[in-house]
Amino acid sequence: MDTPSADRYRFAPRGGFSPIKYADEGQKSKRRNAVSPTRDIVRPPAAWASALQAIGTATVSSTLHDMGIRDAFIQGPVAWTKGRAIAGPALTLQFMPLREDLYGEGEYADPERQLHRRALYHARPGDIVVVDARGDMRSGIFGEMMLTYFKGRGGAGVVIDGCIRDYPHCKSLGLGLWIRGVTPNFHTQTGLMPFAVNTPIACGGVTVMPGDIIVADDDGAAVVPAALALKVIEKASILHSWEDFSRQRLLALL
């Protein structure tokens, strides 16, 4: 029985492991550094995101609960840009615990293999990057340069179950930042490696599918399944109108 070489199964940048076959040794080093393309997302209509942003996370969360989604709240990341409210489709990025035989690149070695970059390449106006960083408080998933690029592509904000770095500069970019904290470390400096782009992830204890609509404000961030977005808007709008009426009646008692 032939024993497969160690190079046959290598980390596949879209996530998981993929068998790689080489026609000859001359192709081996060339193919080893090849990067599989990452997929884009299917974006719901922008009007849906605008409506959900106006409704807000509190009403969205309670409406989803009434519809059978028990908990849409992404626990952990909190607003570091107070007063900002956003909603938009999720670009997802997954990190895994660092394993040096699968991922040994430095911060700037072979930039095209840096999957956190590739997540941002897909960004369109209004998009929100959601990152499963495993709650890690030592790794700065994005810094000033990457977030400046994201802002330039029209990105609305990030929701990260972890940290960013360069916060003194990032906070003035005009992006919404929902994060656990900040750190001076870069993304793979300690214990994480980027693993997959635009695949289902867990962020703050909630499943996020690529293209789900993220609603985020000072209360936190919530996930609206894209397939339920219209029903959420319809039901939440009725509740929102009732709350406005009740608020006016209560104020009249003062």
The candidate with the shortest Cα–Cα distance to 140, out of 103, 177, 91, is 177
Instruction: Give the residue with greater pLDDT, 22 vs 213.
Output: 213
CA atoms of 113 and 194, how far apart (whole Å): 9
Q: Confidence class of residue 244 from pLDDT cuts 50, 70 and 90?
A: low
Tens digits of residue pLDDT in 173-203: 999 999 999 999 999 899 999 999 999 999 9
Q: Confidence class of residue 115 from pLDDT cuts 50, 70 and 90?
A: confident
CA atoms of 42 and 132, how far apart (whole Å): 20
DSSP 189-239: SSSEEEEEESS-EEETTEEE-TTPEEEEETTEEEEE-GGGHHHHHHHHHHH
What is the pTM assigned to this prediction? 0.83
**Residue 214 pLDDT > 60:** yes
Return the percentage of the chain with pLDDT > 90, whole number. Answer: 70
CA atoms of 52 and 70, how far apart (whole Å): 18
Q: What are phi and psi of 87, to 5 degrees?
A: -155, 140
Q: Confidence class of residue 102 from pLDDT cuts 50, 70 and 90?
A: confident
Cβ–Cβ < 8 Å for 122, 83: no
- Give the residue carrying structure tokens 């046959």: 8
Q: Please provide the average confidence, as pLDDT, over all residues in the chain.
A: 85
Tens digits of residue pLDDT in 31-54: 344 456 899 999 999 999 999 999
pLDDT at 246: 57
Secondary structure of 124-188 in HEC code, one letter for each residue: CCCCEEEEECCCCCCCECCCHHHHHHHHHCCCCEEEECCEECCHHHHCCCCCEEEECEECCCCCC
CA atoms of 140 and 167, how far apart (whole Å): 10
- Give the residue carrying structure tokens 């895994």: 96
pLDDT at 254: 67
Domains of the chain, residue spans = 1-37, 46-238
pLDDT at 237: 83
Q: Confidence class of residue 101 from pLDDT cuts 50, 70 and 90?
A: confident
- Phi/psi class of residue 214: alpha, beta or left (left: φ > 0; alpha: ψ in -120 to 50)? beta
Q: What are phi and psi of 221, to 5 degrees?
A: -125, 140
Superfamily of domain covering 46-238: Ribonuclease E inhibitor RraA/RraA-like (3.50.30.40)
Based on the number of CB atoms within 10 Å of its own CB, is 203 exposed (0-12), middle (13-18) or buried (19 or more)?
A: buried
CA atoms of 172 and 169, how far apart (whole Å): 6
Instruction: Give the residue with greater pLDDT, 149 vs 5.
Output: 149
